[in-house]
Amino acid sequence: MSKYYNPNRARNLWSPNSKELYRLSRSKIDLFLNCPKCFYLDRRLGVSQPPGFPFSLNSAVDKLLKKEFDIHRSKGEAHPLMKSYGIDAVPLKHDRLDVWRDALGGGITYSVPETNFLVTGGVDDVWVSPDGEYIIVDYKATSKDEEVSLDAEWQIGYKRQMEIYQWLFRMNSYKVSKTGYFVYCNGITDREAFDAKLEFSIKLIPYEGNDLWVHGAIMDAYACLASDSIPESGPDCDFCKYRLAAKSAEK
């Protein structure tokens, strides 16, 4: 992992003198909300947090779910999971869906007035109701004994993610449902043997988003980067706590 991590990045930095659009991802907005200091160090000064390890199994689940829903998308019919939950919608057919799913090179984007931010987000899926209302969908995978939910404090990031996606589609003049869905896959571990196969239970969790905070957060993030002063740390930032503890120990 270390050979891919550059702690002093010189590219993709926000500059107060640049007039070019600057891609600001959904995850970087979340980083700002969690810790303005880490956000500033990353986006303006090029000092990123060390990357986490990739969740390859989660990526595999994500890829297979997309293939599965695409089968029903091509037929213009609801997935059986949608039917079992009584959701009156079908997976959306749209010529830009593959672009919207591309978090790195594409995504659903919006140029925010009075900033040079091009806010981006890569959605997992979009469903559409009979009246043309878009339903934003996100895939999640885990493995735990208890029932999956959105009740944990750390899952605020999931909720923000959904709300930013909903906001982005609204800013692109699409009619968007307040209710989005998490397709939550939970790995089953009570089988007698592995048998080279991991089975999942799948649950649809509805979430009613409220995106009223999104624009204000983006403007605050812009003001943060435009300042020549490094902001304070977020109150619960483990990275900042580590840097402070390491600096104190070195003395």
Q: Compute the distance between CA of residue 6 and CA of residue 136 in angstroms, rounded to an integer.
A: 34
Alpha carbons 37 and 239: distance in angstroms, whole number: 10
Give the separation between CA 73 and CA 79, rounded to whole angstroms.
8
Has residue 2 got a pLDDT over 60? no
Stretch among 44-58, 76-90, 108-122, 237-251 having the lowest mean pLDDT:
44-58
Do the bridges between strand 125-128 and strand 90-91 make them parallel or antiparallel, or are there none, so unpaired?
antiparallel
Task: Average the pLDDT over 35-49 and give the result.
Answer: 96
Q: What is the pLDDT of residue 88?
A: 97
DSSP for residue 149: -
Mean pLDDT to the nearest integer, 86-103: 97
Say yes or no to pLDDT of 174 above 80: yes
| Whole-angstrom distance, CA of residue 81 vs CA of residue 206 | 13
Ordered structural domains, the chain, with CATH: 18-246 (3.90.320)
**How many residues would you count in the chain?**
251
Using the predicted structure, report yes or no on whether residue 84 has a pLDDT greater than 60: yes
Is the pLDDT at 193 greater than 90? The verdict is no
Per-chain mean pLDDT for the chain: 92
Q: What is the CA radius of gyration of the chain?
A: 20
Band (1; pLDDT cuts 50, 70, 90): very low
Stretch 157-180: mean pLDDT, rounded? 97
CA distance 161 to 31: 12
The model's pTM: 0.92
Please report, rounded to a whole number, the percentage of residues in the chain having pLDDT higher than 70: 98
